[in-house]
Amino acid sequence: MDRGLFIDRGPLETRAALIEQSRIAEIHIESSEPGPGRPGEIRKGRVTHVSGELQAATVDAGEGLSLFVRAADARVLAADDAGARKLPIAKLVRRGQDLLLQTGREGLDGKQGRASADIALHGRYLSIHPLREGLDFPKAVADHDLRETLGAALTDAGDAGRILVHPAASQVEIDVVLAELRRLQGEWADIRASAPKGPALMRPAPDLIEQAFVRLAGPSPEAVLTPDRGLLAELRQRARALAPDLADRIELCEASRSLELDDEIDAALAPEVALPGGGRLTIETTRAMTTVDVDAPGDPVKANLAAARELARQLRLRRIGGLVAVDFISLRGAPERRKVEKALRLAFQRDPAQVEIGGIDRFSILTLTRGRDAAALLTQLCETAPARQHLRPEAALARVLRRIEAELAGVGPVPVALMLSRDLEAVVEARLSGGLDRYLGRPVRLGYDALTVDEFRLSRER
């Protein structure tokens, strides 16, 4: 499969995996009970502090959420000012002022989450920025006639602010694109019409299924796969509303795909990655940066080229952002270094994150930076890096439930005895309010023992 999606859902989490060239390229996991401040929320907030030194403001966004707004992210509020790009934060907002904001990157390592006054509403075929103006087409929409026809239709549709057309718009009739534009305009009108007295959530962030259809799927995926018959019907229903061109591509797949994704996640949490032809990458992340060591036998150029291709995939798969230092196998001269640099830049072309790549120095070390829009997979799933026994209790319980379901597949509703790790007792009580009996569809005698966090014992009751 050149491009496709896999989506599954359990009582604790929804997961979406992007497949590119028959390999997993991205893995996204969303808790069934997400907290406030998820990227994409639209909130009414109140400015509590303005810092000239940082050129930023702190905003109370309700529900105990404090957001950080840079001057660059507030300048849309002064769009009519010819010098808006140079205005300091104190000229854009004031203490006590109410603002409509959209949450961006979540706060990591105890830092505040980011937010912007430049609101954006995203659909599969286009996005609108209500506080800006203009009409933009991506390079992927190269058909001149289509650009003219679609551009005229969108212009006639009324004031929507700035419209960004997505490549998927070229795959459907213009009426479908215009219907999405009207839907997004209606959402913005509803947001503007609501008037809470204080800081509050105005519109929740799109859930993972909507993000998968809108952002992950790309213009023309081959298939959207799910192992769950109940979820299959829901996905088709939601696709008809959000992504009509995908509705007929949603298919049922083998239940074993969920366990296979667990294996892919384990590999993405491990520090070592095997390279084709022998050798390995060793990936280690600290608070300050990520280091990657390349170790392989044989021709150093061939080994480094293989490492460059796999490195780009691994950083994207693991959602590693920030500064990355790569220690390549020693290269003899500038031509060899340029060859590896070129291969690395080519390997990153599919990555939607912003990546800046430096050159390989005479010590064969290269540094790069990759945009960080969400927590790394390791941070999201693990208490400490990087072994499976350190999975966070919620992630471990979700995995245990998938494995139990697989073991009980085809078995009638006979009573069972289940022993879980003591580390899971609190999360079972907090998150499975309906009880394991309801979820597993049978009487369950539950107990806890000194097991590793994702270990369990299952037996039939006599």
pLDDT at 105 over 80: no
Please report which confidence band the pLDDT of residue 149 belongs to, taking 50, 70 and 90 as the band edges: confident
Query: Which of 46-50, 281-285, 319-323, 435-439 is least confident?
Result: 435-439
What pLDDT does 81 receive? Answer: 57
Alpha carbon distances (Å) from 50 to 117, 186, 188, 366: 15, 33, 28, 38
Task: Specify the 3-state DSSP secondary structure of 114.
Answer: strand
- Residue 92 pairs with which residues in a beta bridge? none
* Residue 143 burial (C-beta neighbours within 10 Å; 0-12, 13-18, 19+): exposed
Mean pLDDT of the chain: 92
DSSP 462: -
Q: Minimal CA–CA distance to 101: which of 141, 134, 58, 64?
A: 58
How would you classify residue 64: left for phi > 0, otherwise alpha for psi between -120 and 50, otherwise beta? left
pLDDT at 386 over 70: no
Element (H, E) at 250: strand 250-252
pLDDT at 68 over 60: yes
71, 115 contact by CB (below 8 A): no
Identify which has the larger pLDDT, 84 or 47.
Answer: 47
Element (H, E) at 223: strand 223-226
Question: What is the layout of strands, in order, in the sheet containing 290-295?
Answer: 272-274, 280-285, 290-295, 322-327, 365-370, 355-357
For the entire predicted model, the pTM comes to 0.92
Please report which confidence band the pLDDT of residue 110 belongs to, taking 50, 70 and 90 as the band edges: low
| Whole-angstrom distance, CA of residue 331 vs CA of residue 362 | 8
Based on C-alpha coordinates, what's the Rg of the chain? Answer: 24
- Residue 12 pairs with which residues in a beta bridge? none
Q: What is the DSSP string of 397-426?
A: HHHHHHHHHHHHTT--S--EEEEEEGGGHH
* Residue 439 burial (C-beta neighbours within 10 Å; 0-12, 13-18, 19+): middle
What is the C-alpha end-to-end distance of the chain, expressed in Å? 46
